[in-house]
Structure 1
């Protein structure tokens, strides 16, 4: 009888305090993997997205489970500029984590179009395109909005999609939660504008603006919403970018660090700040674009 009572009490406790799950887009490499590792360290199971490389994603997921055996990891692949990919995330969440509470969503996924990954729009490198220098003009005098639209889908539209679906689920379980976007220096007035970052910056600016509205709306339901702006973080994205410039990752990141007078970070170091915002310790931080950049915003 006592044994049965103990089991009953345990079942009640589990229903009142279900395990938590976090969604991290682009969570199988680079900064996203560092974020995923830190969330797993805090006890969150994970739903991670990747673009194309299923084998590499599965290897990253397995490494997380080896380090944190108590967490579960599920994967969803596809370009996040596509509505179908975003729908697949929440279909997988609802299917595989029925026993869990959605506690955090982090929109980290991104790319240098045509450099670090393939994309559904079949765009090559568009790093030469920027506002105000005539590079967006076509020979017939029209403006080529294709690259801008893709970046706005990947960052701004995807962010809105994730936030809307996440807030609905967080409101339903009534325990609140955290939604975090990953931006870049130059997208807000905290930084000088970064020429050459016009296209991705246009998408991330939408994310940073709407974040404040989501923060105001979500606070009524204990849902906080923030953006993290990392500084020079050592990831493989720099390897691919450096290759297009005939150099290597260490040279390009070291040069940036020296010229800007700031230290570099590892993905896991930056991920620790994201995990803080998603934890109870960070529950009073809401509606901010937080530079995690070793003071870069004071100089750039």
Structure 2
């Protein structure tokens, strides 16, 4: 493993499970000091098990709380002296018909998936301007197009997509790059119920040319690339990590339908 982040300090939100946990580990493997945010302290400690404790800080809290996010960044800089990368990963999805979404459901989704990204960027950017660092936001395939039954999530992730682009315009010339990844289905705690259904997995396989869900570490590798000097001329990109999902124009697989696949 390369040491692209030796001497760098990284905050990863939602680092207790899934893509966030995979991302925190990837940065640790590449030499970074990592500050791990999440709501469940025990899960954050599982993420860093086996790594040098001196090179990490477990910082439990809720990114929908702007006072907490301010403290997260302040504590990072106080302890480690700098901030080089922010990964705004914390988020969740709900599924169901639009008519069943309550105001409470909507506000909760926006508070974590969108407000948390805004608070993180707002508090981190003054520090990132000093280090010429970068932000990687977690959008989604659902932030690039609509889904049946995920209207609130589509709205939040669509906002993250364009927020990323707007910030990249403002801060690119000032030395801070801001990009996002847009994963499709990734095998995490959040997808366990989906992946128990053979019909759901078969439908995803039909749409994903690679033929399977992503693994968290596969998305983490792309996040680390975007945050690294290897991507120093990449700014304002929403990079699909989707197994080829967006290679399709949406029409069905004619070869399969005609028995020629």
TM-score w.r.t. the length of structure 2 is 0.84
Unpaired segments ≥5 residues, structure 1: 1-16, 114-126, 137-143
Unpaired segments ≥5 residues, structure 2: 251-261
Report what 2:61 is aligned to.
Answer: 78
Distance 1:286 1:89, change over 3 A: same
Rg comparison, structure with higher value? 1
Q: What is the RMSD of the two structures over their aligned residues, measured on CA atoms?
A: 2.3
Q: Does the 8 A contact of 2:143 with 2:160 survive in 1?
A: no
Q: CA deviation at 1:221?
A: 1.7
Is it true that 1:36 corresponds to 2:4 in the alignment? no
Q: Does the 8 A contact of 2:22 with 2:216 survive in 1?
A: yes
Whole-Å Cα distance in 2 between the matches of residues 170 and 228 of structure 1? 19
Report 1:1-300 matches (<5 A): 19-51=7-39, 53-63=40-50, 65=51, 69=52, 72-98=55-81, 101-113=82-94, 127-130=95-98, 134-136=99-101, 144-171=102-129, 173=130, 175-188=131-144, 191=145, 193-239=146-192, 241-242=193-194, 248=196, 251=198, 254-263=201-210, 264-299=213-248
Whole-Å Cα distance in 2 between the matches of residues 256 and 152 of structure 1? 28
Q: CA deviation at 1:161?
A: 1.2
Report what 2:258 is aligned to.
Answer: none
Q: CA deviation at 1:128?
A: 2.2
Q: CA deviation at 1:198?
A: 0.8
Whole-Å Cα distance in 2 between the matches of residues 106 and 199 of structure 1? 22
Q: CA deviation at 1:26?
A: 0.8
Q: CA deviation at 1:87?
A: 2.3
Report what 2:255 is aligned to.
Answer: none
- Count residues with an aligned counterpart: 243
Structure 1 runs of 4+ aligned residues shifted over 6 Å read none
Whole-Å Cα distance in 1 between the matches of residues 61 and 120 of structure 2? 15
Distance 1:22 1:154, change over 3 A: same
Secondary structure of the corresponding residue to residue 186 of structure 1:
helix
* Superposed CA offset, 1:34-84 (max 9, x none): 111222222211011111x32222122223x1xxx4961111212222223
Q: Does the 8 A contact of 2:13 with 2:37 survive in 1?
A: yes
Q: CA deviation at 1:262?
A: 3.2
TM-score w.r.t. the length of structure 1 is 0.74
Whole-Å Cα distance in 2 between the matches of residues 74 and 185 of structure 1? 31
Q: CA deviation at 1:252?
A: 6.8
